[in-house]
Amino acid sequence: MTSIETGSPPCQIGTFVKTPAPQIIEILGGAGLDFAVVDAEHAPFDRLTLDMMIIAARSVGLALFVRIPDKQASTIQSALDCGATGLLVPHVDSAEQARELVARARFIGGERGYSSSPRFASYGANGMKQTIATGDQAVLMCQIESRAALADAAQIAATPGVAGLFVGRADLALSLGLTDARAPEVMEATEQILAIAQRAGKIPGVATGSVNECTEFAQMGATWFVVGSDQSMLRQGALALKK
């Protein structure tokens, strides 16, 4: 875990990956990040490419989450069967949606289809009991990014099987009729959501544009940070060459 000096619990630092290249995952893992999030919501990842990204993550011991493009059962099962550490699910607007997500991601008490052949199950090497136990450990982070989600955040956090709340400040701003992710109303809502996650004993997460912002949100209670992306890091590096 990466340490941020706030007096709070240790924080985890990751980044979005928007480029479909497994070498990027290898580099990030070698750099010592705590995790990465493949952004299948906003970037071109098909199942085969996602499979290769997860293979790369396992080769370097990097926890890899997938921000899925939709909430369909087949989408959830595909990412988890490939062996993703967990899912970052965008636009979870109600506790009812959260319950549906948990059901689609869980074997016990849920509706996830069982197979012992995928990577998460060690290609059939594990027995059914171990496979189910492994599958049901997948981490589900619910992205709170609308007025409706803000209003139902406490109920979403209280949903069994939800591991944490992740604040999507840009879409939250748009939902509030704003165009600034740092507008006072957005920052106040962010602090409220992080506090709700803390009280529920769930992971409080947030996206930031830079490491410099992490301390500010850590002071609000955040412990799980997705900082920029592979694209933003590449752009910043390229711009630095011109200075």
What single-letter DSSP state applies at residue 54? Answer: H
The torsion defined by the Cα of 154, 158, 161 and 166, in degrees rounded to 10, comes to 20
CB neighbours of 65 closer than 8 A, spacing ≥ 6?
A: 14, 35, 36, 37, 38, 84, 85, 86, 87, 88, 139, 141
Cβ-in-10-Å burial (0-12, 13-18, 19+) of 194 comes to: buried
Using CA atoms, how far apart are residues 138 and 223, in angstroms rounded to an integer?
19
Q: At 14, is the secondary structure helix, strand, or coil?
A: strand
Q: Please, are residues 68 and 89 in contact by the beta-carbon 8 Å criterion?
A: yes
What single-letter DSSP state applies at residue 124? Answer: G
- Please give the positions annotated as active site: 42
> Distance of CA 60 to CAs 22, 24, 30, 35, 221, Å?
11, 11, 7, 11, 29
Taking Cα atoms as reference points, which of 153, 145, 222 lies closest to residue 181? 145
CA atoms within 13 A on the CB side of 65: 28
**Read out DSSP for 67-98?**
E-SS--HHHHHHHHHHT-SEEEES---SHHHH
